[in-house]
Amino acid sequence: MKQTIYGVLLLFICSTVFAACSKDDPGKNIPEVPGAKGGVSGVVTDNRNVPVKDARITVEHTVWYNSYLLSSSNNEGKYQVSLPDDPAGDWTAKAQLTRTAYGQTYTFDLAPDKTGAFNKTNGAIRNFTWKLSGLRPGGTGYYGAHVDLYTFGTDVDLTKVTLSFTPFPGEPRLIDGTTATAFERPVEDVAGTFMVKDVPVGKYTVKAVYAGKKLLLNNRHTDDNNEENKTVVFGKNGYLGETEYNIAFYVTE
């Protein structure tokens, strides 16, 4: 099979002058990068519509193995990639972002505004958004992390447990800079694993509530103390996908 590796293309649009962003809505003046035949372009923003710099854009051929082009978003969140004549055919685009926080390094898949293939003849616009929660395209999981729970020496029905999340003292913001808020989530049975799904990556204290009982939590991968309130820092625990993060607790009484 033909194998072609195309080098990194860092082609940024520099000809358009953007209006200054306001403090109330720092991203409202960001225009879309105009689409052009022969390539793919777009803008990367977060949920506040603020431009995201250094997102990694991968444009990959739908047929030829290991045929791809790379780019990254600039200070205004913009990127542009020109498609080659060879190989001809269709391409797809995806974006990822790497950030370090809470002593961990995280890689996030960014949400596309459109899916599907494109080619050099027509070109395409693909904009991406950094989301910390929500369903991924096609229902293939969530953008958020998850908390996994396992019973230890107790017969507690985990599907009747609720986890209460509170922003960790001194860490009032999520990883994307937005304000963290307190919330509660029910535990669900997901293919035999009991978990709270789609939690925005941040640092929290968490408490388990069950029919008025006092439940204790123990970090399953560090075997620390049994405590009513535990610190949540998401990481890689068990067999997870590249951009999937979790933390696991034993539940005791």
- Residues 82, 164, single domain; the answer is no
Assigned domain for 14 exists: no
Assigned domain for 204 exists: yes
- Residues 107, 172, single domain; the answer is no
* Angstrom distance (rounded) from CA 235 to CA 35: 38
199: confidence class by pLDDT, cuts 50, 70, 90: very high
Q: How many residues does the chain have?
A: 253
Closest Cα partner for 41 from 97, 91, 109? 91
Assigned domain for 152 exists: yes
Assigned domain for 20 exists: no
Tens digit of pLDDT for each residue in 53-93?
A: 999 999 999 999 889 999 999 999 999 999 999 999 999 99
- Residues 184, 246, single domain; the answer is yes
Q: How many domains does the chain have?
A: 2
Whichever domain contains 209, its CATH number is 2.60.40
180: confidence class by pLDDT, cuts 50, 70, 90: very high
Q: H or E stretch including 242?
A: none
pTM: 0.84
- Residues 118, 186, single domain; the answer is no
**DSSP structural state of residue 152:** S
Assigned domain for 32 exists: no
Q: Kindly state the tokens that stand for 136.
A: 């991924």
pLDDT, averaged across the chain: 87
Q: Which domain holds residue 84?
A: 39-131
Assigned domain for 88 exists: yes
- Residues 60, 103, single domain; the answer is yes
Q: Is the pLDDT of residue 20 over 60?
A: no
- Residues 124, 155, single domain; the answer is no
- Residues 177, 229, single domain; the answer is yes
What average pLDDT does this structure show over 98-104? Answer: 96
- Residues 149, 75, single domain; the answer is no
Assigned domain for 136 exists: no
